[in-house]
Amino acid sequence: MPRCKYCNQLNKVADCFQDPEHPSYSFCTKEHWELYKKEKKVTKKASTPTKPKSELRKLTDYIQAIWPVEPNWQWFNKQIKNLCTETGLTQNDIRLTLKYCIEVKELQVDGQYGLQQFIPKYCQEAQQFINDIKRVKDSLTTIDFEDELVSTPVGRVNVHRRLKEDMEFNSN
Ligand SMILES: [Zn+2]
């Protein structure tokens, strides 16, 4: 007599519910088969350490990394939610705009203010920048640069000339 894989009860073969995905698995009822599947899914999820981060998690991780003071998360979550509904931006758009402001424009984060110091002000500019990068990347895959690359030997760079130019630049 087969045992139910969910509750361990012994059943007559005729009364069993067979798992359509695993014909060797038996259950007393369809309900127990469903419960078994649900439970299996939950334990599987919990034991997966390399689960990819959600968009929100990536965004809050980034905010945590760049904000000069400990972010008030209740307030920040509210801001994120409002920005998404008011502007139609995704959490990913917000993160990329922040990244653009901090890493490309090198703007300073003012800890007294929230995300509004950057968003939606810089969204369009950031989007333009990201589109430009994408366009360049796409063109790089279609053009073969292999034979076009010209390498400058390290020893031939004129250091003195460089330094002089830098000094002139600084004194202006
Ligand atoms: Zn059962």
How many angstroms separate the CA atoms of 93 and 122, rounded? Answer: 11
Give 11 Cα–ligand 1 centroid separation in angstroms: 9
The model's pLDDT over 34-80, given as tens digits with 9 standing for 90+, comes to 999 888 877 666 655 667 889 999 999 999 999 999 999 999 999 99
Residue 172, pLDDT above cutoff 70: no
The model's pLDDT over 19-33, given as tens digits with 9 standing for 90+, comes to 888 888 899 999 999
Give 22 Cα–ligand 1 centroid separation in angstroms: 16
Give 43 Cα–ligand 1 centroid separation in angstroms: 19
Could you tell me the CA-to-CA distances from 55 to 22, 60, 92, 114 in Å, in that order? 35, 9, 6, 19
How many angstroms separate the CA atoms of 169 and 172, rounded? Answer: 6
Tokens 């800890």 belong to residue: 111
Task: Give the start-end residues of each E strand in the chain.
Answer: 17-18, 26-27
Q: Which residues of 96-105 are buried (b: 16+ CB within 10 A; e: fewer)?
A: bbbebbbeee
Task: Quote the pTM value.
Answer: 0.54
Give 44 Cα–ligand 1 centroid separation in angstroms: 21
How many angstroms separate the CA atoms of 104 and 100, rounded? Answer: 5
The model's pLDDT over 91-140, given as tens digits with 9 standing for 90+, comes to 999 999 999 999 999 999 999 999 999 999 999 999 999 899 888 888 87
Give 16 Cα–ligand 1 centroid separation in angstroms: 9
Residue 98's pLDDT is what?
Answer: 96
How many angstroms separate the CA atoms of 82 and 31, rounded? Answer: 41
Give 12 Cα–ligand 1 centroid separation in angstroms: 12
Across the chain, mean pLDDT equals: 83
Residue 136 belongs to what H/E stretch?
helix 123-142
Please give the full DSSP string across 154-171, using - where no structure is assigned: GGGS-HHHHHHHHHHHHH
Higher pLDDT, 169 or 11: 11
Give 14 Cα–ligand 1 centroid separation in angstroms: 14
The structure tokens listed for 92 are 């990913």
